[in-house]
Structure formats: C-alpha cells, structure tokens
Amino acid sequence: MNDAIRQRASELGFDDCRFTTATPPESAPHLQRWLAEGQQGEMAWLARNAEKRVAPERVLPGARSVICLAVSYEDAWCVVRDASSNEPTPDLCLTQHASSYAARAPRTTHHGLIARYARFTDYHDVLAEKLKALTTFVNKLGDATTRSLWYVDTGPVLERDLAQRAGIGFVGKHTNVISRKLGNWIFLAEILTTLELEPDAPEKNRCGSCSRCITACPTRAITAPFQLDARLCISYLTIELKGSIPVELRPLIGNRIYGCDDCLAACPWNRFAREGSLMKPHARADLATPDLIELLELDEAGFKSKFADTPMLRTKRRGLLRNVCVALGNVGDKTALPILEKACGDSEPLIAEHARWAMERVESKK
C-alpha cells in the first residue's frame, strides 16, 4: 500500500512522500512551554488548538497513520552542487550560494525583498488540488469506513515533528525542516488517515556543530539551537504582526517586505536542493525585486490586483505598505521622500505612522 501511495504522490508532483504513525509527537512538551512563555506573540491560534496539535487522533478520530509530503520551491539559479562529494561542504556551499545570490540581488536602493516561498501562486491553493486527489486515492485503498484528512500548513498538527519522524528531513537549529535531498526550501503537507500504514524510519538530526543559521538571523530570533522567539523573527514582524513594528527592530529588517530567508539561505544542506516541478509553473517573476516606490503608490484595488492569488494578500494593504515604509526608511534616499510624505497622509494610520518614521530616518542620512 505504501508503494502505491508513494507512486501516486510522485505522479501528482510531490517531491517526497513518507509515512509515520498517528501517535503524539515527542516534542509536545516543547510546544506547551513555548506557548506558556508567550513566544508565539500575537499568533493566538497556535494556543487555541494546542491540545489537538499534540494529538493527531484528536484531529481525526481513529487516525492510525500520517502520510507526510514535501514539495520543493527551490528555483534553478540557487541550486549548488559539488559532484566530487556526497556530503555537504559548508564553506563551498555558502560561498557559491552567496556569490550566486549577489549576482541576482537588487542593484538599486529602492527595491524590496520578498521571501522566496511567496514569489509563487499561493502554495495552499496549488497543493490543495493535489492533496485532494491523493486523499481520494488513499481512501480507495481502504474500505468503506476509511477516512482521511489532508492539510497544507492549515491544520492543528505539528507537521515539522511528524515530517522528521517520517524521515522527510530533520528539524534544524533554525527550527525548519531540512531534507538531505531537497535542502530546506520545501513546503510540507500531510494526510491523516485511519489506514494502518508501515511507518518509515525517522531522520536523525544532522546539523552537527554548524550554527550558520543562528549567526545569519538579523534580529537574533534564534535564541539558541532549535529555539525561536517568533516575536523577534522578521517573518513574524512583516506577516503575522498586525500592528506597529517595534521601533528598535525596524532598522534590522532592511529591505525585507514579506518574510525573511536568511536562516534558510545560510544552511549548507541547500547544496543538495533541486528545483521542484510542481511549483515552477506558478512562479511570479515580478515579485523577485519589487520596486518599493511603486508598491507604496498602490491603492486598495491595486494591491488586490497585484497580489491576487499569492500568499501576500494576507497582510492586507495596510500591512504590506507598513513594511514598504520601513524598507524605504532603511534603504531609501532623498528620492523616496516625496512618496513617503504622501504616505504620511494615508487614511490608514498604520501606514502613516511608519511613513513618518521612514522620512525621519531617510532625512537623518543626509
């Protein structure tokens, strides 16, 4: 049964498919402690369903197995390999990756940076269609009582822990899953099912003494190996946080306007990353180096039109333009002042507040 599911998953475009049991993840106590310390910030939904997250059977009664899936969103330009070795060479990998990135990096001060995963049609929508098809296939392998439930970053499950237990990869020191064959540029998805499937062997941690991701974090959000304070993370600050970005953290955000890839990009295991076929047709080249001035000129209709069908809609106009103002304050020059002055009068107070901060910061550079 496992082989049949794996084959069907591959046909649908998934880059990896592995299996584990539906027993509670061993890391459940870590989640409970993390929540108790408030490190989730404003992400109240994490605590709201905490009891389900630590027990898959509470999500799907009778669940016996979890099918864990991975989809690469790597793009071709950053694939780095060393054919002479089967193990990662951190210095070589990091040097080549940085060099490759520099060749593609924005050359002007008025361009923003969007996390790589968001430069596509919304992965929730892309993967949903494939997951529905695979779930139907799984149910047909069972009998009339078989039930299955799929999620793609949307359900109350500890997907990273389950992915490690299934052998998809290991949770790195940056708290993201790292696959030995896909790197860490991967989307995770899972299907909980009442079918009993043979579990795969878990993956062991292979970070070793490497701490490049910790060093790379601009805000020191990775407070210790395998520990992340979301309240400091740029992805949280630019996406999940709905109000004002703390003033002391704004300069550290640089020109990032939606998410941050620094800890992921630093990982030497990315030398084994490969371009994924499923996401490739959904790439949005126009989101690679967006012009900050143009973004700050977007009205509500323009925002919805430009970011239609992308994950970036979730920030709403107020959130994205808040981020754009911060980015302009950090990397803009005097040519950005007219559009920032206009933004100071925006009807949305959040945008106006951050525009005023940005103006003061740009003017202080004169």
Query: Is the CB of residue 233 less than 8 Å from the CB of residue 221?
Result: yes
Polymer length of the chain: 366
Over the stretch 268-324, which tens digit does the pLDDT of each residue have?
Answer: 999 988 888 899 999 999 998 899 999 999 999 999 999 999 999 999 999 999 999
Look at residue 151 in the predicted model and tell me its pLDDT: 96
On the question of pLDDT at 83 being above 60, the answer is no
Mean per-residue pLDDT, 137-153: 95
Query: Is the CB of residue 232 less than 8 Å from the CB of residue 249?
Result: yes
CA separation for the pair 243, 241 (Å, rounded): 6
Mean per-residue pLDDT, 227-245: 96
**Residues designated catalytic:** 153
How many CA atoms lie within 13 Å of 8's alpha carbon, on the beta-carbon side? 18
Radius of gyration (Cα) for the chain, nearest Å? 21
Query: Which 3 state secondary structure label does DSSP give 243?
Result: coil
Query: Is the CB of residue 164 less than 8 Å from the CB of residue 202?
Result: yes
- Can you say how many angstroms the Cα of residue 263 is from the centroid of all Cα atoms in its chain? 11
Strands (E), the chain: 16-21, 65-72, 113-114, 148-151, 170-171, 177-178, 186-193, 222-224, 227-228, 256-258
On the question of pLDDT at 107 being above 50, the answer is no
Over the stretch 172-215, which tens digit does the pLDDT of each residue have?
Answer: 999 999 999 999 999 999 999 999 999 999 999 999 999 999 99
